[in-house]
A and B are shown apart, each in its own frame.
Chain A
């Protein structure tokens, strides 16, 4: 009778097994994969996608979607960099970070507001935001990279005790999100709204509030990713982050979250993020051309979801 539950476990083990198999294969195929420096490198690379994926997990759980992530990352990065000139070094680190985060959250608020109050489909709203945020990033930066960032900020992309700081952000965000979805009332409401919106309303849940929350949170995560990215590339790049939303959504879906909402977990998303990161890294190590890498990645995304559906059908 507990078939569905067992399958979801199987599914979770399924990605874990795929991840271990890929890891084992790469360890055997290349000498450099299983080294501290390479794994640290992978961790650094997946962090930004990880932060975005955690954010968009919330949106996908409610049955929505956020296509504006990549553009919001660029806009937040540009805004952050604008406030991070060394001339302003007397200012606390706080200001550029806050500016970046707020920019992301504001975009999310606009997305959420249009989805809930305006009753426009999330696909359309966030598609619009994708273009608007990209345009704003170009306007704010004058179309050029915003360079000359304070070293105190770019240090955010560095290490503490050998651990990349972006990884710490990712882990913190993931753990917090995991606890939130499992333990908090609002977290439960996210699942209920995605599982059956009408039923959630009839049960007394404010569906609009829940949706607004997930879009703001997702925007906030995009803001954080923008700050981290700006620190890493030491500039605010108005053209950065193109198609980041697709990588994030792919990771969430590989992690078992249903695009129609209501089913999924942050743990699955984290595994999906790592799997994509490891595969990218492995293909790099094996010197596979970046053209082929894209093909391989696409096949894996569709393949993972196809396997998932086959399992679901039994």
Chain B
């Protein structure tokens, strides 16, 4: 269907893709794997007409293919779904699906009935019963993803490129996406996609291609690889140990939460976390994990129930109060609620702790610089220096900056919401080691993660939430993924 020969691409003299050759078949799901910076996204953008390659050639359906723009690629039958979705929130699902291809009447007026019918047909092809009339803004990320696929389907794409389609999806939502992809495959569409989630590749992909440092490493049938060998290809060395062993827990209870509730979000959630302990919050998207974490950190205060920190009542009304009391959170929404991209690393790290670095409101620049330097060192932030704007860093390094910020106040409780979302394997391993170090320092960690292997391996105990309520409390040392999922699934 699509063949690439010797594709090369450099940005500002820096080679990002070097001599990559690849053939994609009709009716296959082809996973592109590799660490961040391996060139996956760039390769996709070359195919989608966003970047012109510096060298090499492409053929689509046995004809030369050199799209000058995403629009030209679309006309040739290649559609791309970007990592950051771009829906128009105040238009309806139907309008979004047919955006730019609205069926029109004789006067150029949009034929609304036709829009609705066509959108419904496309969604039905994906086994999705979403109404075309609901506004886009009311959809979950997963549903938005499906709508984007329907949009590509509406353009009669032969090749569909998806960059990290499941990064923001829960397992449950991902399953719906996989069903849609399976439908596409059955229709003969070639689906190329990238992901950081290991277990999912083996569920979905027919073939896997690994890129490393802009070069093609291997293309193999999914059945011929296993997780360990795949990682070895990606990082260029075997990774014998991704997860550090669990640390020792002290009997001292740091945070005690009882019957915490917030209307429509979660109800009667109770738990304790001890010194040096990692409590994992598992559950499907929408089960209330982030909401519980946000309540503990004061982002969205609970309406009922009580919390005690070291036995003293703890009821933060905003994040500032929680931080002062010794509870810091690293958000799942790194771009939205985490980094201030235009500010340098130094200012991002010290943002929460400026109070301790000030005399009468005046920032002590020497103390601030030292705090930033040691934060960057402790969390091995890779950057040109403390003055580099955080927006320029990779996701993994941004995450480390946020961890450094949260830890600068020396909190007793650290709330980590999806700490490894969208970052590469190498950076994940570093974050895991950091979590272990936190607990060795005697901090209590509340960990929210959608990646089951991760949350099971890092936690001491697991709290499984289901529809806002605690469904089970499990010993993480003996818990299995199946067991967690069984408790997490709605009855």
A191→B354 contact, CB < 8 A? no
Most buried by A among B340, B343, B388: B340
Shortest CB-to-CB span from B103 to chain A, Å, is 36
Query: Is B351 a contact partner of A192 (Cβ separation < 8 A)?
Result: yes
Q: Whole-angstrom distance between the alpha carbons of A196 and B343 in the complex?
A: 10
Query: For the complex, is B361 an interface residue (Cβ under 8 Å from A)?
Result: yes
Known contacts A4-B389, A186-B361; is-contact A204 B352 (Cβ 8 Å): yes
A199 to B331, CA, bound (A): 9
Complex formed: what's the CA distance from A206 to B365 in Å?
A: 22
Contacts of B307 in A (CB 8 A): none
A1–B318 Cα distance when bound, in Å, is 36
Q: Is B387 at the interface (CB under 8 A from chain A)?
A: yes
B28 at the A/B interface (Cβ < 8 Å)? Answer: no
Which one of A198, A201, A202, A205 has the highest number of Cβ atoms from chain B below 10 Å of its Cβ? A202
Q: Which among A4, A188, A196, A201 has the highest number of chain B CB atoms within 10 Å?
A: A196
* A-B CB contact pairs (8 Å), 12 listed: A2-B388, A183-B365, A185-B354, A185-B355, A188-B347, A192-B340, A192-B343, A195-B343, A199-B339, A201-B318, A202-B329, A204-B319
B44 within 8 A of A: no
Chain A residues within an 8 Å CB radius of B387: 5
Q: Per-position contact with A for B321-333: 1 when CB-CB < 8 Å, else 0?
A: 0111000010101
Interface residue A295 (Cβ < 8 Å from any Cβ of B): no
- Which of A195, A202, A204 touches B342 (beta carbons < 8 Å)? A195
Q: Is the CB of B361 within 8 A of A195?
A: no
Contact between chains at A200 and B362 (CB < 8 Å): no
A147 and B412 CA atoms in complex are apart in Å by: 65
Contacts of A5 in B (CB 8 A): 387-389
Are B384 and A196 in contact, with the CB atoms below 8 A? Answer: no
Partner of A206, one of B318, B337, B354, B384: B318
The distance in angstroms between the C-alpha atoms of A116 and B319, with both chains bound, is 17
CB nearest to B297 among chain A residues? A202
Residues of B within 8 A of A183 (CB): 362-363, 365
Q: Are B352 and A195 in contact (CB under 8 A)?
A: no
CA distance A205 to B347 in the complex (A): 13
Contact B341 A185 (CB under 8 A): no
A5-B388, A183-B363, A204-B322 provided; 11 other pairs, C-beta below 8 A? Answer: A2-B388, A183-B362, A185-B354, A185-B363, A188-B351, A195-B341, A196-B336, A196-B338, A196-B341, A200-B340, A203-B351
Could you say which of B333, B336, B351 contacts A205, with CB atoms under 8 Å apart? B351
CB distance from B419 to the nearest CB of A (A): 15
**Shortest distance between the CB of A308 and any CB in chain B (Å):** 14
Q: Is A262 an interface residue (CB 8 A)?
A: yes
- Asked if A262 contacts B340 (CB within 8 A), the reply is yes
Q: Is B140 positioned at the interface, with any CB of A under 8 Å from its CB?
A: no
State whether B362 touches A201 (Cβ < 8 A). no
> Which residues from 289 to 308 on chain B have a C-beta closer than 8 Å to any C-beta of chain A?
299
Q: Could you say which residues of chain A place their CB within 8 Å of the CB of B319?
A: 201-204
Cα–Cα, bound, A201→B13 (Å): 40
Q: Are A262 and B329 in contact (CB under 8 A)?
A: no
- Segment 192-228 of A: residues with Cβ below 8 Å from B: 192, 195-196, 198-206
The verdict on B87 contacting chain A, using a C-beta distance below 8 Å, is no
Residues of A within 8 A of B341 (CB): 195-196
A192 to B387, CA, bound (A): 15
Residues 159-190 of A contacting B (Cβ, < 8 Å): 183-186, 188-189
Q: Is B320 an interface residue (CB 8 A)?
A: yes
Task: Using CB atoms, name the residue of chain B closest to A206.
Answer: B320
B322 (CB) vs chain A CBs: closest residue: A204
- Which residues from 263 to 301 on chain B have a C-beta closer than 8 Å to any C-beta of chain A? 299
CB distance from A262 to the nearest CB of B (A): 5
Is B320 within 8 A of A204, CB to CB?
A: yes
Chain A residues positioned under 8 Å from B299 (CB to CB): 201-202
- B residues within 8 A CB of A189? 354
Distance of A202 Cα from B392 Cα, bound (Å): 21
CA distance A185 to B355 in the complex (A): 8
**Which listed residue (A199, A205, A263) contacts B320, Cβ 8 A?**
A205
A226 CA to B195 CA, complexed, in Å:
59
CB pair A200 B388 closer than 8 Å: no
- Do B362 and A184 have beta carbons less than 8 Å apart? yes
* A1 surroundings in chain B (CB, below 8 A): 384, 388, 392
